[in-house]
Amino acid sequence: MPVQILMPALSPTMTEGKLAKWVKKEGDKVKAGDVIAEIETDKATMEVEAVDEGVIGKILVAEGTDNVAVNTPIAVLLEDGESVGDIAAAPAAASAPKAAHEDAPFVNPSCLPSATPAQPAAAAPAAEKEWTGPTVTVTVREALRDAMAEEMRADENVFVMGEEVAEYQGAYKVTQGLLQEFGDKRVIDTPITEYGFAGIAVGAAFAGLRPVTEFMTWNFAMQAIDHIINSAAKTLYMAGGQLGCPIVFRGPNGVASRVGAQHSQCFASWYAHCPGLKVIAPWSAADAKGLLKAAIRDPNPVVFLENELMYGQSFDIPADPDFILPIGKAKIERAGTDVTITAFSRMVGVALQAADKLAEQGISAEVINLRTLRPLDTATIVESVKKTNRLISVEEGWPYAGMGSEMAAVMMEQCFDHLDAPVVRVHGADVPMPYAANLEKLALPWEQDIIAAAKKVTYAA
Amino acid sequence: MASTPTSGKAKLETVTSPSNIASPEQMLQYFKDMLLIRRFEEKAGQLYGMGLIGGFCHLYIGQEAVVIGMQSALLVQDTVITAYRDHGHMLACGMSANGVMAELTGRKGGYSRGKGGSMHMFSREKGFYGGHGIVGATGPLGAGLAFAHKYKGDNGICTAYYGDGAANQGQIYEAYNMASLWKLPVIFVIENNKYGMGTSQTRHAAGVLYKRGEGYDIPGEKVDGMDVLTVRAAALKAVEYVRGGNGPYILEFDTYRYRGHSMSDPGKYRSKEEVEHMKENRDPIDLIRKAILDTEKFSEDDFKKIEKDVKAVVNESAEFAQQSPEPDPSELWTDILVEG
Ligand SMILES: Cc1ncc(C[n+]2csc(CCOP(=O)(O)OP(=O)(O)O)c2C)c(N)n1
Ligand SMILES: [Mg+2]
């Protein structure tokens, strides 16, 4: 049967074009790959190649014609033994069906999560197990190490990779003893090549291993962020669920001490922004142990933001070999009635100190340790604000598009009618971290900033 | 499935000489596998022209011998990873033409249920790990798959493909270093088609690509990538080395893409004569066809029959890719995280 040759779309944006020139004439024989015509698209002049063998039976659109719509028949190709007389029988060429979205109403509920919850609500994570048994005192550093060691004992696919994690026992001694127990097959020193080893770890996770990838600090993970976002976070989606990436990226995040702008910054909102990742920022040793264990068991890529200044601090944790914490669940560290303070990582401790001082002044603050930044436990925050009617968000990082901005948005969307004061963000100064001791101090949020904010929202100033 | 190439991954054989590198039957199979890629890609180009495929679509036409020759030397446990010029690799891995074409049209029947598109498809079952859009990423990702082979001790190897343009990315050399240091079973396959988009190799790459592993103690070879039998010979040698626990290997294939970089490339950076010269004198399908006729085992009739079979598979895939429905709107929210 004669085949219609259609005006092709030659770029993602082309809807029509000029038929600039016919390279073949009626009666010419063509085979697949032969250039038959030239077309001017919205971007350039392009050649059209024949995709079938045959003879050009009839040219339907003359050369020089402007504005020929994509999919308009421009010629008819005759196959072996057919003649021009058969052309009437040429089938109407199949054209692209109209995509469903072209008929869709303008309002897209998927992009208005606050107005219409198009996104299916995630099942609420199970609450943390109550622990009334004995406890042990450990540092955050030991808690992290123990979490890795226990998971490595339980699953031989878990391995640790990073700079100085093996022989040197960790740049911050977090991986102390792992090489001795698990050997160099599973505790691997890498060269200083974050982009490369992040890619290798992601590739290994594609194949079903469970890498725990340490960045000496998260500052250096900027070298590797392409693999964290483009390779790890998106693959499950792009693969239609077929291939995931069970990996943990961990290391110290945030402000250290007097190390200057390139070594002191918080990446919480960078990663929390990205679907396909889970983002955790532990504060206490229990957070560190329970959440790192959960992160290693999780089948998804998890960004685990530790804090160098917390590594040496000690906390009591349950003396329970099965101890683990749920991802996606915040913890009310201190109950209160007058104002809700959210914080994560080191700032939880600062917020608790502020709450002590506030109590002396007759203001009862509820302090929520967010623990997981994505998915955020908005239910716990909203419940708290329904009681206190005030929210202060505390973070070390920059304010612009930061975690506090997200907190304010959640309040607008879910708590508007319960607020008795505007949300206040307490945050790091909107500048690269200075080195000078006095300036560094000025760039960071302190207890007194939280106290001042609490007085402001409770109109107690 | 009808569209699955049957040569796929074969048993490892010892290289004797290129003259008996493959039996006439194997050669005929390579012809068929390459023709499937060629016709599939032509059809994809046609569907693109009809507006049924959108976005970027990078065709593999001209480079077929590379993946078919490489694949002929692999075992079932081996893995493959490549960039966005990936349809040929999927078919060569034995993924179904229907599933690939339906992904190109963004339909439910596609390998990623329409959520990946031309550049992002995967089949764990066939050992195909994508389908990646970031130039250079496949170097370390492939080394990571090789890391997993070694870790699990499954005697598998990974073939990590990237282009001449990608060969300039820094992460490739980070991967070389670690792959050699840790003796990872990976073949870095450089498909040197002479251009990274519109920039010719002479303008983008200093030195010689296959030698760039020298400082890392990685052997490298430059190979005629238009002749499937030569590719196969090189592949068998490299596979033996890599599977033997000696660490990575670099194969730089001299190849050529006939079409533009993607669909909207007018190709002004190279002459028509250059393209014509390659099509006339070095076409991989013509070359194997001649070699098969020289064996006097098969005739034009055998080719005709194969042409017909391949056309049927490709037409069916195009039909399937248009009939398969668009993904359900609820798919927007699935596969972001593994639940539970
Ligand atoms: C990191 C990155 N930079 C740029 C691009 C845009 N881009 C896509 S393909 C390409 C050319 C790559 O050429 P080559 O590696 O030779 O592969 P070929 O297309 O020839 O197969 C470029 C620049 C990209 N996808 N990723
Ligand atoms: Mg190239």
Atom of ligand 1 minimally distant from the CA of B134: 26
**What pLDDT score does A217 carry?**
96
**What pLDDT score does A281 carry?**
98
On whether any CB of chain B is under 8 Å from the CB of A222, the answer is no
* pLDDT tens, residue by residue, B171-227: 999 999 999 999 999 999 999 999 999 999 999 999 999 999 999 999 999 999 999
* pLDDT tens, residue by residue, B125-176: 999 999 999 999 999 999 999 999 999 999 999 999 999 999 999 999 999 9
Peptide bond into B131 cis (omega under 30): yes
pLDDT at residue B296 is higher than 60: yes
Q: From B172, B169, B100, B171, select the one nearest B131 (Cα to Cα).
A: B100
Question: What pairing do the DSSP bridges indicate for beta strands A302-306 and A278-280?
Answer: parallel
Q: From A440, A279, A274, A444, select the one nearest A347 (Cα to Cα).
A: A444
**What pLDDT score does A102 carry?**
54
Please answer yes or no on whether B144 and A199 come within 8 Å at the CB atom: yes
Residues A338, A300 share a domain: no
Kindly state whether residue A147 falls inside one of the protein's structural domains: yes
Question: Which DSSP category does A23 fall into?
Answer: S
Kindly state whether residue A176 falls inside one of the protein's structural domains: yes
Alpha-carbon distance of B282 to A92, in angstroms, equals 38
Active site residues of A: 194, 263
The dihedrals phi and psi of B127, each to the nearest 5 degrees, come to 70, 25
Residues A312, A342 share a domain: no
Tell me the three state secondary structure of residue B113.
Answer: coil
Phi-psi region of B83 (alpha: psi -120 to 50; beta: other; left: phi over 0): beta
Report the length, in residues, of chain A: 461
Residues A310, A340 share a domain: no
Residue B241 CB neighbours (<10 A) = 17
Kindly state whether residue A414 falls inside one of the protein's structural domains: yes
**What pLDDT score does B268 carry?**
87
Residues A404, A304 share a domain: no
Domain map of chain B by residue range?
Answer: 31-320
**Considering Cα of B187, then B192, then B197, then B203, what sign does the dihedral take?**
positive
* CATH classification of the domain holding A42: 2.40.50.100
Q: In angstroms, what separates the C-alpha of B339 from chain A's closest C-alpha?
A: 8
Torsion of CA A434, A437, A439, A442, to 10 degrees: 120
Residues A429, A353 share a domain: yes
Q: From A161, A159, A281, A146, select the one nearest A213 (Cα to Cα).
A: A161
* CATH classification of the domain holding A202: 3.40.50.970
Kindly state whether residue A118 falls inside one of the protein's structural domains: no
Kindly state whether residue A323 falls inside one of the protein's structural domains: no
Which residues keep their CB under 5 angstroms from ion ligand 2?
A: B 163-165, 193, 196
Question: What pairing do the DSSP bridges indicate for beta strands A365-369 and A339-343?
Answer: parallel
Residues A292, A257 share a domain: yes
3-state secondary structure A381-412: HHHHHHHHCCEEEECCCCCCCCHHHHHHHHHH
On whether any CB of chain B is under 8 Å from the CB of A201, the answer is yes
Residues A313, A355 share a domain: no
Hey, of B39, B112, B326, which one would you mutate to test binding to chain A, going by the most A CBs within 10 A of its CB?
B112
The domain boundary, picked from A95, A123, A154, lies at A95
**What pLDDT score does B14 carry?**
41
Strand partners, B123: B128
> If you average pLDDT over residues B13-18, what whole number do you get?
46
Token pair 């598109």 is found at B117
Alpha-carbon distance of A92 to B156, in angstroms, equals 50
Kindly state whether residue A111 falls inside one of the protein's structural domains: no
Residues A342, A310 share a domain: no
Kindly state whether residue A339 falls inside one of the protein's structural domains: yes
**Considering Cα of A31, then A37, then A38, then A42, what sign does the dihedral take?**
negative
Q: Percentage of chain B surpassing pLDDT 90?
A: 91
Please answer yes or no on whether B129 and A243 come within 8 Å at the CB atom: yes
Atom of ligand 1 minimally distant from the CA of B191: 21
Residues A311, A211 share a domain: yes
Q: Which of residues 79-98 of A touch B (CB under 8 A)?
A: 93-97
pLDDT at residue B6 is higher than 80: no
CB contacts of B175 in chain A (<8 Å) are 196, 199-200
Range of the domain at A370: 331-457
The dihedrals phi and psi of A135, each to the nearest 5 degrees, come to -125, 165
Q: Which residues contact A188 (CB under 8 A, 6 or more apart)?
A: A159, A160, A161, A162, A165, A166, B182
**What pLDDT score does B16 carry?**
43
pLDDT at residue B4 is higher than 50: no
Atom of ligand 1 minimally distant from the CA of B135: 26
Across the interface, which of B56, B114, B175 has its CB nearest the CB of A196? B175
Alpha-carbon distance of B237 to A153, in angstroms, equals 39
> If you average pLDDT over residues B328-340, what whole number do you get?
90
**What pLDDT score does A110 carry?**
76
Q: From B134, B103, B98, select the one nearest B116 (Cα to Cα).
A: B103
Strand partners, B189: B161, B251
- How many domains does the structure of chain A reveal? 3
Kindly state whether residue A112 falls inside one of the protein's structural domains: no
Across the interface, which of B124, B173, B178 has its CB nearest the CB of A200? B178
Q: From A202, A195, A133, A189, select the one nearest A163 (Cα to Cα).
A: A189
State the ligand closest to the CA atom of B261. 1
The domain boundary, picked from A72, A95, A118, lies at A95
**What pLDDT score does B336 carry?**
94
Question: Which DSSP category does B93 fall into?
Answer: T
B257 alpha carbon to ligand 2 midpoint, in Å? 8
**Per-residue confidence in pLDDT tens, chain A, 461 aa:** 788 888 988 877 888 899 999 999 999 999 877 889 999 887 788 888 887 789 999 999 999 999 999 889 999 999 878 887 777 765 554 454 555 455 555 667 777 655 434 577 777 787 787 888 999 999 999 999 999 999 999 999 999 999 999 999 999 999 999 999 999 999 999 999 999 999 999 999 999 999 999 999 999 999 999 999 999 999 999 999 999 999 999 999 999 888 888 899 999 999 999 999 999 999 999 999 999 999 999 999 999 999 999 999 999 999 999 999 999 999 999 999 999 999 999 999 999 999 999 999 999 999 999 999 999 999 999 999 999 999 999 999 999 999 999 999 999 999 999 999 999 999 999 999 999 888 999 999 999 999 999 999 999 86
**What pLDDT score does B22 carry?**
97
Residues A335, A313 share a domain: no
* pLDDT tens, residue by residue, B244-291: 999 999 999 999 999 999 988 888 899 999 999 999 999 999 999 999
Residues A305, A235 share a domain: yes
Alpha-carbon distance of A460 to B111, in angstroms, equals 61
Q: Which amino acid is at A392?
A: I
Q: Whose CA is nearest to atom 20 of ligand 1?
A: B196
**What pLDDT score does A113 carry?**
58
Q: Which of residues 30-69 of A touch B (CB under 8 A)?
A: 32-33, 41, 43-49, 51
> Which CATH homologous superfamily contains domain B31-320?
Thiamin diphosphate (ThDP)-binding fold, Pyr/PP domains (3.40.50.970)
Question: Which DSSP category does A231 fall into?
Answer: I
Residues A296, A158 share a domain: yes
Tokens representing residue B207 in the block: 């030195």
